[in-house]
Amino acid sequence: MEDDAAVKPPREPVRSKWGVPNTAAVSIPHELSFENISHRFGESVILQDISLTAATGTVTCLLGPSGSGKTTLLRIAAGMERQTSGRVLQDGREIGGPSLFMPPEKRGIGLVFQDYALFPHLTICQNVCFGLAHLKRADRIPQAMQTLARVGLDDRADEYPSTLSGGEQQRVALARAMAPRPGVLLMDEPFSGLDSRLRDSVRDETLGVLRETRATSLIVTHDPAEALKMGDRIALMNRGIMEQFGTPEDLYYRPKTLFAAGFFSELNLFEGVVRGSQVETPLGAIKADGMREGAAAVVAIRLPALYFDPAGKGATARILSRRFLGDFDQITVGVSGVDVPLKMRLRAGALESLGIDINRNLSIRVDPKGCFVFPAVETTSSALT
Ligand SMILES: Nc1ncnc2c1ncn2[C@@H]1O[C@H](COP(=O)(O)OP(=O)(O)OP(=O)(O)O)[C@@H](O)[C@H]1O
């Protein structure tokens, strides 16, 4: 045996699915705050009094339906749009407001757009070098290649964007944004151009890179499942207003408004009046703690919260239809005293395994954990879109 064969080779760096060595440099993350941000385009009010803080090194998702103002808020954070009033702060210092307005290139912010916005006439490496103009020429390529290795594309560095798949282009866009090691990363619907299977894996790997680099990240999405999966915090927007800001668990289990409850899952709705701290519904009384006696209320019941009660102690319901939806079945039931059929969600094949047929009468009950009561002043239509 040769002498040097006995010497242990250096350990390979741990590589992720993208071939990302977990050795890359880390950003110095910043806290990013919005303080009473309002914005108008002409006469239209687009954002109203938005305040939130994206804590250092965390991922915050800006979630909401189309037109709710998510992208505008992101553009304001980047300095690409100047808000009508309010301030943007980094680590407590104003970077966009009445006394100081830093241009985008001075904010130390990385940007990833929905369409990736890669330069088609530049190679992958040149695209990533584009954000490194502040470095000496000799330092640009090594840093670009290190970041490309992190997203598993260092072996494609000399190719042009058109030769890459959508998922690979997204990874180049991420590498370009990360290469200057920004303290804050802003991403606008970064996965929406990908098909659903690819989206899951690119999203997981992106989250891995964000965790590894610890950049404070703000991600715009209209997909509640994506926000629940990625966000340390979620800011739920609706028509320019922030409905709720909190952890994924806060928003899902403790929605403050009917809109928030309805954004994360379909609901069955009942109208009623608070009497003795509860609201009577055809499915029984639902607790309405903290609500004013006599107030008009809306009771919202998540689909999985309805279940069949073999003991027959619930409301009588007739099964009207069943739709197979993959992992679960959606069941509609008619309940006396309720005008519209109610929807339930059961494990796929649950009816067959219980020996239950369509058109059979059964007893259904409600799990209180999936029920919420809100003041009736909110409109129900916007909650269910
Ligand atoms: N430059 C502009 N001039 C006038 N109105 C604008 C401008 N940019 C955006 N808007 C309007 O502001 C509102 C909010 O738009 P914004 O793009 O911020 O919403 P969003 O929540 O990101 O929507 P989406 O998910 O569809 O991208 C929309 O009604 C939009 O038409």
**Quick one: tokens of 211?**
């965790």
Which of these, 245, 79, 240, 183, lies nearest to 88 by C-alpha position?
79
Amino acid in the structure at residue 52: L
- Phi, psi angles (nearest 5°) of residue 328: -140, 165
Global pTM? 0.86
* Ligand 1 contacts CB of residue 235 (under 6 A): no
Question: What is the Cα–Cα distance from 57 to 233, expressed in whole angstroms?
Answer: 12
* Ligand 1 contacts CB of residue 64 (under 6 A): yes
Each domain of the chain, given as residue ranges in start order, spans: 32-253, 258-383
From 37, 39, 46, 80, the mutation candidate for ligand 1 (largest count of ligand atoms within 8 A of CB) is: 46
* Ligand 1 contacts CB of residue 41 (under 6 A): yes
Q: Residues 261, 383: contact at Cβ < 8 Å?
A: yes
CATH of domain 32-253: 3.40.50.300
SS3 (DSSP) at 340? coil
Using CA positions, which residue lies closest to atom 5 of ligand 1? 41
Q: What is the pLDDT of residue 14?
A: 39
Sign of CA dihedral 22, 27, 31, 35: negative
* Ligand 1 contacts CB of residue 115 (under 6 A): no
**How far does residue 92's CA lie from ligand 1's centre (Å)?**
28
Q: What is the pLDDT of residue 385?
A: 36
Residue 100 is classified by DSSP as: -
Q: Which spans in 137-223 are helix H?
A: 137-150, 166-178, 196-213
Q: What is the pLDDT of residue 226?
A: 94
* Ligand 1 contacts CB of residue 240 (under 6 A): no
* Ligand 1 contacts CB of residue 143 (under 6 A): no
Q: What is the pLDDT of residue 22?
A: 40
Amino acid in the structure at residue 302: R
* Ligand 1 contacts CB of residue 66 (under 6 A): yes
Instruction: State the Cα torsion 74-78-84-86 to the nearest 10°.
Output: 90
From 40, 62, 66, the mutation candidate for ligand 1 (largest count of ligand atoms within 8 A of CB) is: 66
Query: What is the architecture, at CATH level 2, of domain 258-383?
Result: Beta Barrel (2.40)
Q: Are strands 216-221 and 184-188 parallel, antiparallel or unpaired?
A: parallel
How would you write the pLDDT of the chain (385 residues) with one tens digit per residue?
334 434 444 334 334 444 444 444 556 888 999 999 999 999 999 999 999 999 999 999 999 999 999 999 999 999 999 999 999 999 999 999 988 999 998 888 888 887 778 899 999 999 999 888 888 888 889 989 988 988 888 999 999 999 998 888 988 998 898 888 888 999 999 888 778 777 888 888 888 888 888 889 999 999 999 999 999 999 999 999 999 999 999 999 999 999 999 999 999 999 999 999 999 999 999 999 889 999 999 999 999 999 998 888 889 999 999 898 988 999 999 998 888 999 999 988 888 887 777 888 889 999 999 999 999 975 444 443 3
* Ligand 1 contacts CB of residue 166 (under 6 A): no
Q: What is the pLDDT of residue 152?
A: 85
Which atom of ligand 1 has the smallest separation from the CA of 41? Answer: 4
Q: What is the pLDDT of residue 382?
A: 43
Q: What is the pLDDT of residue 31?
A: 95
Q: What is the pLDDT of residue 27?
A: 64
Using CA positions, which residue lies closest to atom 1 of ligand 1? 41
Q: How far apart are the first and last CA of the chain?
A: 72
**How far does residue 68's CA lie from ligand 1's centre (Å)?**
7
**How far does residue 225's CA lie from ligand 1's centre (Å)?**
22
**How far does residue 114's CA lie from ligand 1's centre (Å)?**
14
Residue length of the chain: 385
Amino acid in the structure at residue 184: V
**How far does residue 71's CA lie from ligand 1's centre (Å)?**
7
